Homo-oligomer: A and B are copies of this chain.
């Protein structure tokens, strides 16, 4: 196995694992947040404005965690500096 193949393999595997493991936590956290928002809305419909606003800010912050993972996965697939280095090296050889 040459370097290029090995880096390609590891990048594919790492990208897949990064995004699939990385959404487990945010998905559970967001599910909990949405669920409590609905309970709170049912208990106190008058505070709907504050609750919805706080919920969306909270979801955005949790979503940002999943987006870190998505960014890393995309970097590993489309902007991988190690892959670029090896390709450049192979081309310049």
Interface string of A9-45 (1 = CB under 8 A from B): 1111111111111111111111111111111111111
Tell whether, in the assembled complex, residue A38 and residue B65 are in contact, meaning their CB atoms are under 8 Å apart.
Answer: no
Neighbouring B residues of A23 by C-beta, 8 Å: 22, 25-26, 65-66, 68-69
**Main SS at interface, chain A:** helix
Neighbouring B residues of A83 by C-beta, 8 Å: 82
21 residue pairs from A and B, CB less than 8 Å apart:
A3-B8, A5-B7, A9-B10, A12-B82, A15-B76, A17-B20, A18-B19, A18-B20, A20-B21, A22-B24, A25-B26, A30-B61, A35-B35, A36-B36, A37-B54, A38-B51, A45-B50, A52-B54, A56-B57, A58-B59, A82-B83
